[in-house]
Amino acid sequence: MKKTALFFMTLLMFWSCGDDLEFNTPNFSANKNYNLWRATYFSASQAADGSLTIVAGNNQEEMRFVVSEIAFDTIDLTPTSFAKAEFSDFNDIEYSTANPPDPSVSLYPEIGKLIFVQSPGGTVSGEFRFIAFTEDGLNSVGFNEGYFSKIPISGVNSGDRSPIAKTKQVQ
């Protein structure tokens, strides 16, 4: 009886082991104001100048990242940088890291971060966090613990000529 129970416990242990990310890729999700936000659609496109636009959303909201290039380094998302994150909520209110906060809200806005990580050719993966403000700087939306994985890149340098393959890695 003990051998049978041990056999079934061992079988159960091997059966329940696995890597959840394998079944959830490609994906795009984050904590929006400390609540899980998950995209139901996402895409990445690269322009002729090397800039990359990543779009993700669900039936009610949409997020967009615009960067000048894919670099394996931390990219700051601030009102003074080229790179930016934009978000449109279910009320069609537009938020952007390009908008500075009103001084009554914050004198020192948090610097958002976007970090690309190694990904198979023709795809893009990374992590992010940011606080974006409305144009008047009075309202904000915050995202943390955000990540996207293996999003296919379309456009000029997609496929075997992926910018990931061309960009050197920062150690």
pLDDT digits (tens, 9 = 90+) for 76-131: 999 999 999 999 999 999 999 999 999 988 877 778 999 999 888 889 999 999 99
Reference 54, options 66, 40, 38, 72; nearest CA is 66
Query: Domain segments of the chain: what residues?
Result: 25-166
CA distances from 85 to 19, 59, 150 (A): 30, 19, 19
Pairing of strands 140-155, 41-46: parallel
Tens of pLDDT, residues 24-81: 578 999 999 989 999 999 999 999 999 999 999 999 999 999 999 888 889 999 999 9
Residue 12, pLDDT > 70, answer no
Report the 10 Å Cβ neighbour count for 84.
21
Residue 159 carries which DSSP code? G
Contact in structure between 12 and 4 (CB atoms under 8 Å)? no
Rg of the Cα atoms in the chain: 20
CB count in 10 Å sphere of residue 143 = 22
